[in-house]
Amino acid sequence: MSELNNIALKILENGKGILAADESTGTMTKRLESVNVPSTPQNRLLFRETLFTASSMNECIGGVILYDETIKQISSRKNKIPELISKIGSNPGIKVDTGAKVLSGSPDEKITEGLDGLRERLKEYYELGAKFTKWRGVYIISKNYPSKLSIESNAHALARYSALVQECNMVPIVEPEVLMEGEHSAKECYEKTSEVIKKCFEELILHKVDLKGIILKPNMILAGNKSKEKISKEEVAKLTLQCLKSSVPSEVPGIAFLSGGQSEIEATENLNLINKLNKTNFIMSYSYGRALQQSALKFWSKDLNNIEGTQKIFNHRAKMNTLAAQGKWSKELEI
Ligand code: 13P
């Protein structure tokens, strides 16, 4: 087994998932201000450290995606953050793209940037202890979108990123996110997501990326958030599985979904059904940001010193999602 394959499997073993705590300072500021907490480097660290030292980390969270600011911060117990995460038994990871910018030639769409100087930055992150990385491409759905230009250029960037990351002995998370915003049907989401993922793999193969040493982070197949269509959870699970089965090469060890604006319970329930119906060999787990942190953040914002109470809420969500990643979750377990 290759070393990268080993890391990917370790991150997702036994129902473990990934905590996406890699919000950029801009996004984190919006999240904190929405609950009336000032966005200072200390507060950003305090909330994140509260999650990273929770008891569920060892049992449920196989990897944590950090932002550049956090990977260089020192915890209140005087540990470097990546060391703290490794000591707890999880794996530190790092977001390495520099954000989605307007795509010249199709200005309603975005292209993710960050390839310039990436090799040097990767070496630095590796030295800091990172075992894996993340790069997110975003795609909108509407009548003419995503365009061929957006599909091809984002796939190219994801592949160049992945090749560089593997060269530096880390596992790339490949995240092509087809956004939930819009009036589109689930069928349109299915078709566009399939096209996007197939193009990504075409480019990954062209760039000689070892598919056994990546983790795919896709969206689930959902109707747009402004669509009138109501589809059942079973339908979401079936379409998601069908889409991935037909567009992801079998060498890929694991798939970790993003939550993409679903509620906490919805993200858990959908993941659970996906695993109940999963007949593929892919591990199907989670790499959630909002769906792991929302309730904990709301609770914490009322008393920044209530570490234990905040961790209790986070532990519950992490446990529910780890059960869902094994198809063992049920509504009755929610409190
Ligand atoms: P959400 O689960 O909040 O969509 O975030 C996951 C993520 O890492 C987006 O890049």
Peptide bond preceding 92: is omega within 30 degrees of 0, i.e. cis?
no
Q: To which H or E segment does residue 285 belong?
A: strand 283-288
217 carries an active-site annotation = yes
DSSP labels for 293-306?
HHHHHHHHHH-TT-
- Segment 109-122 shows an average pLDDT of 98
How high is the mean pLDDT of the chain?
98
Name, in order, each residue with C-beta under 8 angstroms of 43's C-beta and a sequence gap of 6 or more: 32, 37, 304
136-174 per-position pLDDT tens digit: 999 999 999 999 999 999 999 999 999 999 999 999 999
**What separation in Å is there between the alpha carbon of 46 and the centre of ligand 1?**
20
pLDDT computed for residue 335 by the predictor: 73
Range of the domain at 305: 3-333
Q: What is the 3-state secondary structure (H, E, C) of 241-289?
A: HHHHHHHCCCCCCEEEECCCCCCHHHHHHHHHHHHHHCCCCCEEEEEEC
Q: Distance (Å, rounded) from C-alpha 128 to C-alpha 80? A: 9
Hey, which of 30, 132, 181, 258 would you mutate to test ligand 1's pocket, going by the most ligand atoms within 8 Å of its Cβ?
258
pLDDT band at 262 (very low <50, low <70, confident <90, very high): very high
Domain count, the chain: 1
67-81 per-position pLDDT tens digit: 999 999 999 999 999
CATH number for the domain spanning 151: value is 3.20.20.70
Hey, which of 290, 293, 321 would you mutate to test ligand 1's pocket, going by the most ligand atoms within 8 Å of its Cβ?
290
- Segment 272-285 shows an average pLDDT of 98
| Residue 91: pLDDT over 80 | yes
DSSP labels for 169-219?
T-EEEEEEEE---SS--HHHHHHHHHHHHHHHHHHHHHTT--GGG-EE-PP
**What separation in Å is there between the alpha carbon of 195 and the centre of ligand 1?**
21
8-51 per-position pLDDT tens digit: 999 999 999 999 999 999 999 999 999 999 999 999 999 999 99
Encode 252-288: b = buried (16+ Cβ within 10 Å), e = exposed: bbbbbbbbbebebebbbbbbbbbbebbeeebbbbbbb
Say yes or no: CB of residue 133 within 6 Å of ligand 1. no
Report the nearest-CA residue for atom 4 of ligand 1: 260
| Residue 1: pLDDT over 80 | no
Please classify residue 88 by burial: count the beta carbons closer than 10 Å to its beta carbon, then call 0-12 exposed, 13-18 middle and 19+ buried.
middle
